[in-house]
Amino acid sequence: MAYQIKILMLAFAIAFVISLIVIPILRRRKIGQQERDDGPKSHLKKQGTPTMGGIVMILAIIIIGAIVFLKYSKSVDASEQTMAKNLIPLILVTVGFGLVGFVDDFKKLILKNTEGLKPLYKMIGLLIFSVAFVLYITKVLNIGTETYIPFIKTYFTLPVWLYIPFAILVLLGTSNAVNLTDGIDGLATSVTALILTCLTVIGIIFNIKEIVVFGSITIGTCLGFLLFNLNPAKIFMGDTGSLALGGVLATIAILTRREITLFIICLPFVIETASSMIQILYYKLTKKRVFLNSPLHHHFEKLGYQEPDIVKAFWLFGILCSLAGIYFAVWL
């Protein structure tokens, strides 16, 4: 347990230091938030707040990942060498998803292209990294195609032709759900940290060392970044961070065989995504709106709730979902 805490604290410290360096650079280069006119009016004061903060997370994950890999790849313990090797695809997917978000942020914030990366191109980019990861774990690592069904407490083996698109859908859906939730100060970062803690606990219970190590790295990174992301935020993660964090959650769920359990743990993100889908579909059918604004956190803002209160409510809901996720994943 001690090494996990050391890794988490080191990741926290490095993310904190990188934030101190990156925030002034982004501010000097005027790489700031662009608020929509149709969003909550309270957000207009955030115009110009440094964004693309996902760079902080990705750099911290790469640095700590490299340190851990170099340490354990030279170990005389074969299990530690295997753990170090298995960290590589986790880091690569995180960086790959973050790179897609970075291109989107770069076009919007630096090239001043308000549309950013077209949704189709963004999805193709995420799809490329998703397919590569799923093919790697099924064809190279040969970890099998089992998934745990929590409600009947059993593993079910999917045919490979069905498992591959299923796992890809988990990756794409989770990354986009986190991306949608990143709308108010500290919301996506804090809820992701809770979910990562839950998934890391599952990794500890089943002694999946690479999950425990990578989970500790990303939790520490989120907490270090969160110090600057809480209301009033000094930096936003942008698509660079939200897509990367979504990739982290999905890859850990896939490697722990808890893809379906992830749906329970990620209910805050699921509800946020569902609210946007309902809003769009209902408006297309009736030209009326179900919510005052979407995703759901913006609806609460329009009702008059303050951002910190909304985030606290999501924290509490996230804790309940995480506890339920551990129960369904392990003890049901």
Position 37 scores a pLDDT of 56
Question: For residues 96 and 5, which has the higher predicted lDDT (pLDDT)?
Answer: 96
pLDDT in tens, 224-255: 999 999 989 999 999 999 999 999 999 999 99
Contact 191, 314 (CB under 8 A): yes
Over residues 77-86, mean pLDDT: 87
Position 224 scores a pLDDT of 97
Position 144 scores a pLDDT of 87
Residue 318 has pLDDT above 70, yes or no: yes
Position 183 scores a pLDDT of 83
Over residues 74-78, mean pLDDT: 82
Task: Count Cβ atoms within 10 A of the Cβ of residue 2 and give its class: 0-12 exposed, 13-18 middle, 19 or more buried.
Answer: exposed
Position 73 scores a pLDDT of 87
Residue 40 has pLDDT above 70, yes or no: no
Position 1 scores a pLDDT of 59
Question: For residues 243 and 34, which has the higher predicted lDDT (pLDDT)?
Answer: 243
Q: Which helix (H) or strand (E) holds 85?
A: helix 78-105
Mean pLDDT of the chain: 91
Cα–Cα–Cα angle for 226, 230, 235, rounded to 5 degrees? 75
DSSP, collapsed to helix, strand or coil, labels residue 146 as strand
Position 256 scores a pLDDT of 93
CA within 13 Å, CB half, 215: 26
Contact 197, 211 (CB under 8 A): no
